[in-house]
Amino acid sequence: MLHKYKDLITILNTTKTGGYYADATSDELEYLFTHGWRKGVLVIAIDNYTRKLDVIEFKIQNEMNTRKNDKFIRGLKNSRDKLLLKYTKRKSELKLIKDEE
């Protein structure tokens, strides 16, 4: 997300934190400036999806080792499946951009 003020433009990563937006890290900003907006946004989205998938996998393993609540595990697996579809879509878009170069 871009925030434009009178003398400043900030780039925020909207999926890093729970209840508020966090400024993009210096690595994310550097990638955006060196590789361009389209490619940079896709790479950051893929990184966000990877991070979310890791969290879901941890929650599934934790649930399997503790309560074994089937409904909760099914919900986590559904979330994982949806994220994997988004991840695959972004990866294919990134591949198309790389093929154009």
- For the stretch 44-97, pLDDT in tens is 999 999 999 999 999 999 999 999 899 999 999 999 999 999 999 999 999 999
Total structural domains within the chain: 1
Q: Which range of residues forms the domain containing residue 55?
A: 2-100
Residue 3 CB partners (closer than 8 Å, separation 6+) = 9, 10, 11, 12
For residue 98, pLDDT beyond 90: no
Helix, strand, coil shares of the chain, percent, nearest 5, are 70, 10, 20
Report the pLDDT value the prediction gives residue 5, as an integer from 0 to 100.
Answer: 79
pLDDT greater at residue 9 or residue 27: 27
Check residue 22 and give its pLDDT. 83
CB 51 within 8 A of CB 87: no
Query: Of 101 and 67, which is predicted with more confidence?
Result: 67
- For residues 48 and 13, the answer to whether their CB atoms sit within 8 Å is yes
